[in-house]
Structure 1
């Protein structure tokens, strides 16, 4: 019987192509376990922004309920497309995009009724001005080396005035161990250390990559991509939520932020100068 080697965790530079390959492979391998472990919390047709449980039905970060009817919406890093399924029920016309073939198979298993697209968020396969809204609940953005490239692609496919809302691990959390208990409450690293977290195989190939950006970095990336930052939401831990999800827990959630949600609006009416 062949023994699989456990990936080695390290911090090292990694580029866009390597990060993309690692993310596709990791999600293809782990989609079944992820959906089994978190599917009941996410639901089949809920729009949950984060492990804190902030629900779009209440938060309305994409806009008022009536604005969703008839809107063309792109979900980036859709996974099993739970958010797109909720959008469809609101009368929107969603398109769910993900890098992982296996994640999209789960979307088919649950049932879609809208287009599913397997593609890299760094090169969106859509015409300019195809969508009114774009959203991403922990999809794509934390795993890319070049977020400005992704954001400019999202801006390109949005119509003037379009909204782009995405959630990521709160940058503050990178200074703490990713543990839900008391051991996760002490600072163990520099908040300003932007070297990516990488898990690699015995040959040094990245099999999982996550990239850290400070709050200031994220704001600058948003602005450099031709968006206006309309809001920055830091969800507080609700009393009803007793679950642990990785490093998220009631203990930590009541003391430090776990998620940052950026609400952005497309600036200007034409292409962004210098965009690629």
Structure 2
């Protein structure tokens, strides 16, 4: 008869916190423990399973292949534990659904989806994770997010495509587009638009310089509105009060971008419900 083994949930919570934050120090702050305590808990979990779950280097903590496979299972076990404890304490059982949305599509753009979902699934707490499509894909692959919307060049689209949108140059009323090198700003260093923008500018023999990256849509738009730089933007998401430029301004044309929906093969009923609402909303917006 095999010996029954019991997983220490404290160790699981430390591991998940490190995976979500990307570092021992950030996980320590989240769980209100010392870095040494978090490190020891992760080591004990690795010893329990006799495998390496995390690699530590100057960039922080990275999941190993076994860590990537283990993470969603660890999260499910913790969610079940928390739901069971809440239920036995007489609290309302709340499930958690994590969705990843690109920075420029978060906020008001998807507010109708979140409102409709909360009405249809009042027992589910939705956590919206905003980021670049590159970062969201990475977190989705690690099991940190339940479903995501991804923006990518049409030629790179491989998953369920919800819409196709032209990428354009966004500018203010000032003639900043005549400056050389061309001043640019992006929401993040991992912005999905960067590689194609740099490639098209290089093909057109136009020099450029990046003056701003800050992970804020509002600040990026304010930088453009102030006439300090241009930024690439999806045409349907262009706010009022901005100029859209193209080849008539001496700028290279930019490709269409696909808007994809990534949902796990065995998604929960909640995730499938959210996916359906997202499909309906984007279909209505893009016609």
**Higher RCO, Cα 8 Å, sep 6+:** 1
TM-score, normalization by structure 1: 0.29
Bigger fraction of residues in helix: 2
TM-score, normalization by structure 2: 0.28
Q: Highest Rg: 1 or 2?
A: 2
